[in-house]
Amino acid sequence: MLRYVLATVGSATSHFTSAHTVTCTDLVEHSQCIPDPAAFSDPDGTGNQYTEERDDPKYETIYDVLSKDDFYDILGVTPRIADDPSALRRAYLQRSRRCHPDKFPENERSTLAFQKISLAYNILSQPSTRKAYDANPYHADIFASQRSAEDTFDGVLQTLFADFMSGDFEIIRIVLRTIKEVNPALNMEEETIDSVLNAFRKLREIVLGTRTYVRVMRIELLRLYDIQYSLRQLPYLAISARLRLSLRFTRVALSLPNAIDRAIEAEDAERERRRAAHAAAGLESGFSTTNTQVKKRSSILGPKVGGVVNMLVTVLEKSESVF
């Protein structure tokens, strides 16, 4: 079935030269400080925790989190579920996404809820702090030296990416080779497929080496995680649904290198702008300045492979519509 769908769609897109890529918007950065846990129960500082916003369904999770003190309740898990790192991580992502300040910029309590969820996850995900918490939930030492909420969020996403590269990455290889076999008109050589796969290996080195670019890929990584989870919940014989999700998984995954390349290009452009501004200021002040342009860093994909990836994204997008 996979071969049939890709052959049907690929023949209609063999002359396509530009592609739709998933748009990634940076989420808002917030304070690096974790507030006093006591402030969570009274975010207004007035003794009145609830306002007229309390009854708005879209704020339900925010107020639910702020009303709880037990870290297990905050994440919506039992101690037994918390024993499973992947289940605890999923619970954290579900709760934090429903409270993320970028989703509710008009409600400052979303920041408090987001920080509270991150604090709960930090404590329960580490055996030593979880043991201390279980022994004494209000022990002051537990709350010291914790990472910021944003760092926690990006750290979890970095872990998701590592899991993806060591597990379901094989889906991409299978889909790409199938496209090559059933669509000879696309002129996809084995070398091209290897170049795409090598781009992901390079991406892995960048992402696992630093979290600088994790934030750039937040949207795509969360989509991959949702698709991955849905795939794992399907019955083995749910062929059509499994195929549809595999195509979607590959399409979203192929957008990851593009997201990083756009970020690199934007950073290089900003560096060149600053260099030019400094050069102009130096000349105006009578100082000699070097007029050498900032050396641009190499992209992950490069023009040729980038064009192939854009074409593949379009083929896969159209393939999904067959179902």
**DSSP state string for 168-213:** THHHHHHHHHHHHHH-GGG---HHHHHHHHHHHHHHHHHHHH-STT
Position 286 scores a pLDDT of 46
Find the angle CA(149)-CA(60)-CA(113) to the nearest 5 degrees.
Answer: 20
CA 259/CA 25 separation, integer angstroms: 10
134-150: average pLDDT: 70
Position 22 scores a pLDDT of 29
Do 259 and 251 touch, CB atoms closer than 8 A?
Answer: no
Q: What is the pLDDT of residues 45-97, one digit of tens each?
A: 554 545 556 667 888 899 999 999 899 999 999 999 999 999 999 999 999 99
pLDDT beyond 60 at 20: no
Note if the pTM is more than 0.75.
no
> CA-CA distances (angstroms) from residue 279 to 72, 74, 290?
56, 53, 7
Closest residue by Cα to residue 173 from 242, 249, 240: 249
Question: What CATH number has the domain spanning 37-147?
Answer: 1.10.287.110
**CATH 1.10.287.110 domain residues, the chain:** 37-147
Q: Among 30-34, 37-41, 105-109, 267-271, where is mean pLDDT lowest?
A: 30-34
Do 189 and 155 touch, CB atoms closer than 8 A?
Answer: no
